[in-house]
Amino acid sequence: MAILEALHQPKSVDDLNVEPISDSLVGKTFDVVVSGSIASVESVRFIRSLRRLGATVQPWLTQGGAQFITPLALEWASANKCLTNFSGTHSHICTSDGVIVSPASSNMINRLAKGYTDTPASALIASALGQQKPVFILPAMHDSLSAAPSYQENIVKIETWKNVHILSARLEEGKRKFPEPHILADQISHLALTQSRPKTDILVTLGTNRGYIDDVRYLSNYSSGKLGSLIAEELFRNGFRTHVIAGPSQFRPSNATKLTETISFQDMMNAVTGVNESSLLGAVFTASVLDYQPDKKLVGKTKSGQSSLHIELVPTEKIISKVTLPGKIKIGFKLETELNLNRASDIAKDYCSKYNLSALICNELSQVDSTRHFAWAIAADGQQTELPSKAMIAKWITKQFL
């Protein structure tokens, strides 16, 4: 009986809450305009994704959008009343940090280009533009509509307006569809913050390398690439331009300014040393780089069935030593076994001195798996910070650049 009564109790207000994954948009408020496109069904997930970055969201629904989604759904997603009409409080005068039109239908694009302000949403957008606030527009429609001459003329016109950002839809089945909502939220966070970052390029390495024995077999360390991807994503959503150099691994960041794929140790070395150091604000070396590799690669496939196979291994150079970055932020990683804080501190002191690091992230193998990742962040001055998870490591590193 108690269980049945509990099931019929009113939902807690906690149902409106979201689990934060970043504070990149904390203190920021956005108006989100949902117009008449089937892509509007993704607006609930998108608004929740913005809120997971700390943003406050005020939803607006056009008459066209109301054919696909309800004000109630947007109110639940945002935890704010959805606005649909003009009011005596002049709610259409933009007081937020920016306006996001997602999705923007063909009709919405054409009306914006003509300067119409006869609906609450179009008046809101015009108000934001008049105040030189950022306006983010995600066109979503059938390809035949986007190919129409009127649309082509109008989207080109809008692209020339100051502070307007045209976002990329997912092209599929002859349609411009809503992209993955959390990826779009990160892109908007990046665009909203990047103008406040003076010199924002950060190098991130992730994954591992392959040292080839022959054309088929290779030696490699293990790395999923997840931690490096989380770090790159957090840097990106905080407005930094990220150049990710990735070796073979399972994960890739969902957003990156530039992504360079590598396979061998030498590939990664060439990619890293090819980066213009003067353009960098800093670098984060999370890649699990080979310390030894075969002295030569045999041609073809070595035949099986031999009683033994001897491979000569030679040490590799330290990629991290090739990027100096004097006076800038440079963070390295070190995975060890049987590691305690005292030993980690000794290793960090040596590495920070040898490779001119700002900090070393020290991991103990037994405390690292697919669900957990405890680490110590030890700065060049000896300051120690316990970081209990991959997400906390990513946030701590990002704060070093802010």
Given pLDDT bands bounded at 50, 70 and 90, which one contains residue 369?
Answer: confident
Residue written as token pair 């794929």: 261
CB 37 within 8 A of CB 63: no
Mapped onto helix, strand or coil, the DSSP state of residue 339 is: coil
| H or E stretch at 178 | none
What's the token pair of residue 2?
A: 């108690």
Contacts of 170 (CB under 8 A, 6+ apart): 176, 177, 178, 179, 180
| H or E stretch at 102 | strand 98-104
Torsion angle, CA of 125/130/134/139, rounded to 10 degrees? 40
3 pLDDT higher than 50: no
- Type of residue found at 95: T
Comparing CA positions, the residue from 244, 208, 245 lying closest to residue 223 is 208
What is the CATH architecture assignment of 2-194? 3-Layer(aba) Sandwich (3.40)
pLDDT tens, 86-134? 998 889 999 999 999 999 999 999 999 999 999 999 999 999 999 999 9
What end-to-end distance do the CA atoms of the chain give, in Å?
54
pLDDT tens, 207-221? 999 999 999 999 999
Hey, do 2-194 and 201-294+313-401 end up sharing a CATH topology, with the first three levels equal? yes
Considering only residues 80 and 308, tell me which one the structure prediction assigns the higher pLDDT: 80
Give the pLDDT of residue 306: 85
Residue positions counted in the chain: 402
pLDDT tens, 380-389? 999 999 999 9
Q: For residue 220, list its beta bridge partners.
A: 210
Domain layout of the chain by residue ranges:
2-194, 201-294+313-401
Comparing CA positions, the residue from 170, 238, 177 lying closest to residue 202 is 238
User: Span 259-269, mean pLDDT?
Assistant: 97
DSSP codes joined into one string, 89-101: T-TTS--SSEEEE
Contacts of 90 (CB under 8 A, 6+ apart): none
Comparing CA positions, the residue from 284, 57, 77 lying closest to residue 189 is 57
Long-range contacts of 349-352 (CB under 8 A, 24+ apart): 349/378, 349/382, 352/378, 352/379, 352/380
Contacts of 113 (CB under 8 A, 6+ apart): 153, 154, 155, 157, 158
Q: Evaluate whether the domain defined by 201-294+313-401 bears CATH number 3.40.50.10300.
A: yes
9 pLDDT higher than 70: no
Residue 155: phi and psi, rounded to 5, are: -70, -35
User: Span 137-160, mean pLDDT?
Assistant: 96
CB 367 within 8 A of CB 373: yes
Given pLDDT bands bounded at 50, 70 and 90, which one contains residue 4?
Answer: very low
d(CA 402, CA 101): 29
CB 281 within 8 A of CB 199: yes
Mapped onto helix, strand or coil, the DSSP state of residue 169 is: coil
d(CA 321, CA 306): 39
**pTM tops 0.85:** yes
What's the token pair of residue 393?
A: 């490591």
Contacts of 74 (CB under 8 A, 6+ apart): 32, 34, 43, 44, 47, 59, 61, 82
